């Protein structure tokens, strides 16, 4: 292959993935928070190819919808007759001089170094292999003499001696379009003899029969080039990806209590000296300022946490912002639109939605704050509920600065509590409470001395 010609990447993604036992097409199974094929596409794009062709077939509408972008071309493989058939379809009508790199939609984490080596190889055909402890399920690399790839034998066609080979085919290979087209055409005849399935892997034996140089590269990162056929392999790739993400975060200065109990399913930006305790799950876009600490078992999705804030154990935060020096949790739930201004505190079993808690304001226990603005330094007593929903519409509550809401109050929105107002415990507030005054609604307390407990009749 000449390096000067443009590179075309083909991604095979037409298979059903029967061994997953899922309604979701295999290449759309989530890995690190995105469909598996997204990782393949990212790696393909990093090579700066002229085109990327995705071969789709099973649930092709769903796959097309999930992957999009510039320079992407889809080829429909209506019947999945094998990987050779898929590549032949993708290369129909392609200029024979073009360089082609074949990637598998179910081999998501291939190191870029391996792809660079395949693409940069001077051989007519370059195959990426790996040496593994347990080769079961993979095509075996038959070398003759050692180091020279002679052919690839699929497991189902391998005799017991060949099955002992621990060098396996990753599926990834590079060659010129014209060569692949010719080799595949030769392989089609063999496919017919073999009851139908048309193997891409047969191109190796055909190239060798033509006395053409075939290069074999063995990946230095065997675990990263393994395919995903079932749930266990998917989980293994997830761990591998998470380990790499954890290591990258630690290199960037993030302290993790345990990198094996860290899950980043989106993007994370962080300042200096942040700390994440075990089992924190981060999704979407998460941004942490300097010295932020996150306790064990927290889940954050699309959240910004400013410097010095502390999110304590088992808190769940989504689409919200936590200001500097705030303390949240343990067991707090901040739903979309929650906003904590500097120094605000939210304690256990407090839920906030579309709600702003002013600077140094507190809601420390058992409270629902929905569609509300709470002023600076206000204190929201335990059990306070904003009754924001009348069954049809949502209404807002406004609580002024320095207000004090007594425990177990219901604030029936729309309603306004003035600055420095005090609401007596147990109040059902249905009208605005003026500033600087005590407002309460409470049945007067009474004691009845003429009353006695009912007793069970004897006998």
Nearest distance in Å: CB 106, Ca ion: 4
Q: Does 224 bind ligand UD1 (CB under 6 A)?
A: no
State phi, psi for 329 to the nearest 5 degrees: 90, -170
Nearer to ligand UD1, 130 or 380 (CB): 130
Segment (H or E) for 54? strand 51-56
Q: Does 310 bind ligand UD1 (CB under 6 A)?
A: no
Catalytic residue among 8, 365, 395, 436: 365
Could you write out the DSSP letters of every residue in 397-411?
EEE-TT-EE-TT-EE
Q: Which stretch binds Ca ion (CB under 5 A): 112-120, 222-230, 301-309, 335-343?
A: 222-230
Supply the DSSP symbol for 224: G
Q: Does 85 bind ligand UD1 (CB under 6 A)?
A: yes
Segment (H or E) for 179? helix 177-193
Among 29, 38, 53, 77, binds ligand UD1 (CB under 6 A): 77
Interface characters, 8-37, with ligand UD1 (x: CB under 6 A): ----xxxx----------------------
Interface characters, 121-160, with ligand UD1 (x: CB under 6 A): -----------------xx------------x-x------
Q: Does 358 bind ligand UD1 (CB under 6 A)?
A: no
Enumerate residues 6+ apart whose C-beta is below 8 A from 361: 341, 344, 345, 374, 375, 376, 377, 378, 379, 380
Query: Does the active-site annotation cover 85?
Result: no
Q: Does 86 bind ligand UD1 (CB under 6 A)?
A: yes
Among 12, 32, 56, 106, binds Ca ion (CB under 5 A): 106
Supply the DSSP symbol for 96: T
CB distance 9 to 52 below 8 Å: yes
Question: What's the distance, CA 212 to chain centroid?
Answer: 43
Q: What separation in angstroms does the CA of 430 have from each of 26, 340, 374?
A: 55, 26, 17
Among 38, 60, 83, 304, binds ligand UD1 (CB under 6 A): 83
Q: Does 283 bind Ca ion (CB under 5 A)?
A: no
Query: Which of ligand UD1, Ca ion, none has residue 383 at its interface (CB below 5 to 8 Å by kind)?
Result: none
Q: What separation in angstroms does the CA of 103 have from each of 100, 130, 137, 387, 459?
A: 10, 15, 18, 55, 87
Nearest distance in Å: CB 198, ligand UD1: 8
Query: Which of Ca ion, ligand UD1, none has residue 171 at its interface (CB below 5 to 8 Å by kind)?
Result: ligand UD1
Q: Does 82 bind ligand UD1 (CB under 6 A)?
A: yes
The residue assigned the tokens 């409270």 is 367
Chain residue at closest Cβ approach to ligand UD1: 139
Chain residue at closest Cβ approach to Ca ion: 227
Residues 108, 111, 116, 122, Cα dihedral to 10°? -90
Among 57, 84, 227, 323, binds Ca ion (CB under 5 A): 227
Interface with ligand UD1 in residues 149-208 (CB under 6 A): 152, 154, 168-171, 199-201
Nearer to ligand UD1, 239 or 436 (CB): 239
Q: Is 106 helix (H, G, I), strand (E, B) or coil?
A: coil
Among 35, 105, 358, 375, binds ligand UD1 (CB under 6 A): 105
Q: Which stretch binds Ca ion (CB under 5 A): 100-108, 337-345, 376-384, 406-414?
A: 100-108
Q: Does 262 bind ligand UD1 (CB under 6 A)?
A: no
Q: Which long-range contacts (CB under 8 A, 24 or more apart) does 425-430 make?
A: 425/381
Segment (H or E) for 152? strand 149-153
Segment (H or E) for 416? strand 415-417
> Which residues face 151 on adjacent strands?
142
Nearest distance in Å: CB 60, ligand UD1: 10
Query: Which of Ca ion, ligand UD1, none has residue 86 at its interface (CB below 5 to 8 Å by kind)?
Result: ligand UD1
> How far apart are alpha carbons 309 and 150 in whole angstroms?
61
- Which tokens is 228 given? 């995903």
Region at 336 (left for phi over 0; alpha for psi -120 to 50; beta for the rest): beta
CB distance 249 to 264 below 8 Å: yes
- Which residues in this chain contact ligand UD1 in the complex, by CB under 6 A? 12-15, 55, 77, 80-83, 85-86, 104-107, 138-139, 152, 154, 168-171, 199-201, 227, 229
Catalytic annotation, residues: 365
- Which residues in this chain contact Ca ion in the complex, by CB under 5 A? 106, 227, 229
């Amino acid at each position: 292959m000449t390096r000067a010609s443009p590179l075309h990447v083909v991604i095979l993604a037409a298979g059903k993935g029967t061994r997953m036992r899922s309604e979701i097409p295999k290449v759309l199974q989530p890995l690190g928070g995105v469909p598996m094929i997204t990782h393949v596409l990212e790696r393909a794009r990093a090579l700066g190819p002229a085109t990327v062709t995705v071969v789709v077939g099973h649930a092709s509408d769903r796959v097309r919808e999930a992957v999009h972008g510039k320079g992407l071309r889809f080829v429909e493989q209506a019947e999945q007759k094998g990987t050779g058939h898929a590549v032949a379809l993708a290369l129909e009508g392609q200029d024979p001089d073009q360089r082609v790199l074949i990637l598998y939609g179910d081999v998501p984490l291939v190191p870029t170094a391996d792809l660079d080596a395949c693409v940069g190889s001077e051989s007519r055909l370059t195959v990426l292999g790996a040496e593994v402890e347990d080769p079961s399920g993979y095509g075996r690399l038959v070398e003759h003499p050692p180091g020279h790839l002679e052919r690839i034998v699929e497991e189902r066609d391998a005799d017991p001696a060949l099955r002992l080979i621990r060098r396996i085919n990753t599926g990834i290979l590079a060659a010129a379009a014209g060569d692949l087209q010719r080799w595949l055409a030769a392989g089609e005849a063999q496919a017919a003899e073999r009851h139908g399935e048309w193997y891409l892997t047969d191109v190796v034996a055909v190239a060798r029969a033509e006395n053409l140089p075939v290069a074999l590269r063995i990946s230095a990162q065997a675990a990263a080039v393994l395919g995903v056929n079932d749930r266990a392999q998917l989980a293994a790739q997830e761990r591998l990806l998470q380990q790499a993400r954890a290591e990258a975060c630690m290199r960037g200065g993030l302290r993790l209590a345990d990198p094996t109990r860290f899950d980043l399913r989106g993007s994370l930006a962080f300042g200096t000296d942040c700390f994440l305790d075990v089992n924190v799950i981060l999704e979407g876009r998460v941004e942490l300022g300097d010295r932020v600490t996150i306790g064990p078992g927290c889940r954050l999705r699309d959240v910004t946490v400013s410097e010095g804030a502390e999110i304590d154990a088992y808190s769940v935060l989504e689409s919200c912002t936590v200001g500097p020096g705030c303390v949240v949790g343990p067991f707090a739930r901040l739903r979309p639109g929650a906003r904590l201004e500097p120094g605000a505190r939210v304690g256990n079993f407090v839920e906030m939605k579309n709600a702003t808690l002013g600077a140094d304001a507190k809601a420390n226990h058992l409270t629902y704050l929905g569609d509300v603005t709470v002023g600076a330094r206000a204190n929201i007593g335990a059990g306070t509920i904003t009754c924001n929903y009348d069954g049809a519409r949502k209404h807002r509550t406004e609580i002024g600065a320095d207000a004090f809401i007594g425990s177990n109050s219901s604030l029936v929105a729309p309603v306004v509590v003035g600055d420095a107002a005090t609401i007596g415990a147990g109040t059902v507030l249905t009208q605005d409470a003026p500033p600087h005054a005590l407002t309460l609604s409470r049945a007067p307390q009474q004691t009845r001395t003429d009353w006695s407990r009912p007793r069970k009749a004897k006998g």
